[in-house]
Amino acid sequence: MASIVSGNNDPPTSEKDQPSLSRDISDAEKLSISSDEAYITPPDGGRGWLVVIACFMGLFSIFGYNYSWGVFLNHYKTNVYINQMSTLSWVGSICVSLFFITGPFNQLLNEKMGFKYMLATGTVLCSAALILASFATQVWHVFLTQGVMFGLGASFVSLPCIGAPQQWFSERRGLAIGLAMSGSGIGGLCVANISMAAIEHVGYRWALRIDGIIVFVLLSFATCFVRPFGDVKKTGGGRKIFNWYLFKNPMFTVMFMHGLITTFGYMTPFFLLPSHANALGLDPWVGTNLSAIMSAVNAVARVFTGYMGDKLGRFNSLFICTFLCGLMCLVLWINVHNEATLWVFAILYGFFGGGYIALFPTVQPQIVGLEHIGPAIGLLYATNIFGYMFGTPIASVLINLSNPPSYVNGAIWAGCTIVAGSLFAGWVRVMKGGWTLAKI
């Protein structure tokens, strides 16, 4: 059972979970929870660690496949759907953008379905998408299965698996979220190599079926054990389908812009580095392992930077990691001309990119309070839809403006968007703690 700190006029004892929206909403938008249920105190352990493991499995499944999309993309454009790179690049973008399509309806789905049935729906859709994709004969078949169907299924998995650790932890929130979200990076490492090996030995159709089986098993585990902390009504915010009252909080609005802009560039290296390696004439395994190693570094970084956020300040760490993530594109990726420099970029980008992904959710309870976290997660992750959908296709168009294609253009696009997004993270940090050098 959730332990509740009695609501009164005094500020919460911990600034981490301060509900900063209470004074900003109108009478019509008052919370449905009673005054003695104002603040939720997470247990910071116990069953929460099982929830973290189950969330790890869920994110391993959906992001592991998504980060390995570059392997299938490279195989498709070279051997299956030749000279259709521009069309194929939309498949991965549509897929990852749909990961968060249920965002605005997140709290409603939580109440009507619960985490259990949301995850069960995602399990069926994601597994079926990969199995059906193995029978595709046209690009539009791939688009509907590996793109639309898998993305929709993943949307029922992503938000429960990202949101649950936030509810079960407070002092160790950064570490818990980092561990859970490291599943996506480790998934990319494992699934990319499994997919590449399967493509070479049994063909890409069986590679898709093998991935489908892996996804089914791991998501079934997540379905059994991912649960919210306490009553979902206590994290329901304004109790509406679209909780626009959240934008009355200036910090939430700035954080919304941070997520919106950063995602236009974030996935570009993950999707395009295998093709860049191919353009440099490197061994096909280099492209595969670039994605895999970047995902592995990404996973380690999520744990390390999550812990770092707990110790040095989550707002400080979010700004630093996001800014350096974009800087790596502008300093290193535009100067990649051989295998060595490509590896250096992949490792450093994977590290700082992992920090951005791990830290973005850790600051959300500090901005809106746990009692608003359900709708806040939904709206903040809805920002990913536009960036992930259009970011990589825009980069692909820029790359193909010249002949031969110039990946410098893609690097500039990714770097500029991420750096611009990081400035909003810096703005939030200043709004939270001012210009003083402190743990914020």
What are the structural domain ranges in the chain? 14-21+31-433
pLDDT at 242: 65
User: Cα(255)–Cα(431) distance, rounded to whole angstroms?
Assistant: 11
The rounded radius of gyration (Å) of the Cα atoms in the chain is: 21
pLDDT at 236: 54
Instruction: Read off the DSSP letter of residue 7.
Output: P
pLDDT at 427: 94
Coil/strand/helix, residue 236: coil
Q: What is the pLDDT of residues 30-75, one digit of tens each?
A: 333 333 334 457 666 677 889 999 999 999 999 888 877 878 887 8
pLDDT at 288: 66
User: Cα(378)–Cα(110) distance, rounded to whole angstroms?
Assistant: 11
pLDDT at 16: 40
pLDDT at 232: 56
pTM of the model: 0.71
Q: Can you spell out the DSSP letters for 416-438?
A: HHHHHHHHHHHHHHHHHHTTS-S
Backbone angles phi, psi at 40, to 5 degrees: -105, 130
Q: What is the CATH number of domain 14-21+31-433?
A: 1.20.1250.20
pLDDT at 354: 80
Backbone angles phi, psi at 4, to 5 degrees: -120, 135
Instruction: List, for the chain, all residue ranges whose pLDDT scores fall below the cut of 70.
Output: 1-40, 42-45, 106-107, 230-243, 288, 370
pLDDT at 281: 85
Token couple for 161 = 């698996």
Alpha carbon separation from 68 to 62, 142, 411 (Å, rounded): 10, 15, 20
The alpha carbon of 360 is separated from its chain's Cα centroid by a whole number of angstroms, namely 9
Q: What is the pLDDT of residues 308-317, one digit of tens each?
A: 777 788 899 9
Cβ-contact 18, 371 below 8 angstroms: no
pLDDT at 241: 61
pLDDT at 423: 95
